Amino acid sequence: MNDSTIAIQASELVEIVGSVFATMLRLEVRESGDPWFPCGNRLTSAVHLTGDWNGAVLFECDRGHACELAGRFLSIDPPHEVDDIVRDVVGELANMIGGNLKCVLTRGIHLSVPAVVDGSDYTIRLCGSGTRERVAFRGAGETFWVTLLSVRP
């Protein structure tokens, strides 16, 4: 099986992200159409999918929003700054989105452990990949992005 035989639609990605946020964060999110732009104030988490389909899921949000999401996810007061707990929650969000996508794509796909990039002036590139879908979401007054990268066969 190759990448050209597997199609993921933006609507499926929107549905998966909406379900993860409603279930795990008790937060309704909607597709916002906000443009993506590089920003030094973001956390980015990534999980890689390998096997019969190869690619990655990226979850990006600003640092303050990451703290708010961590508080909601763990039912605690939001941390005042990014720490390992916040990074773990952001990584877990990418992991849950990737796990749900894995079920939609095809059998024989393995999911990596999440990686989180925290800092400024960085670029994430999965060699040989292209952006398959990038969707902006808005929830609780904040914007975040979920990007699906696919490796060209």
**1 has pLDDT over 50:** no
CATH number of the domain that 142 lies in? 3.40.1550.10
Measured between alpha carbons, how far is residue 26 from residues 21, 53, 130 in Å?
Answer: 6, 31, 32
Is the pLDDT higher at 87 or at 127? Answer: 87
What is the predicted pLDDT for the residue at 7? 63
Supply the pLDDT for residue 2.
Answer: 43
Could you report the per-residue pLDDT of 81-103, keeping only the tens digit for each? 999 999 999 999 999 999 999 98
Domains: count for the chain: 1
- The answer to whether residue 37 is domain-embedded is no
Three-class secondary structure of residue 52 per DSSP: coil
Kindly state whether residue 52 falls inside one of the protein's structural domains. yes
pLDDT > 80? residue 73: yes
> Residue 85 belongs to what domain range?
8-32+42-151
Any domain includes 1: no
Q: Answer whether residue 41 shows pLDDT above 50.
A: yes
82 belongs to a structural domain: yes
Q: Between 145 and 127, name the one with better pLDDT.
A: 145
- Host H or E run for residue 145: strand 142-151
How high does pLDDT run on average in the chain? 88
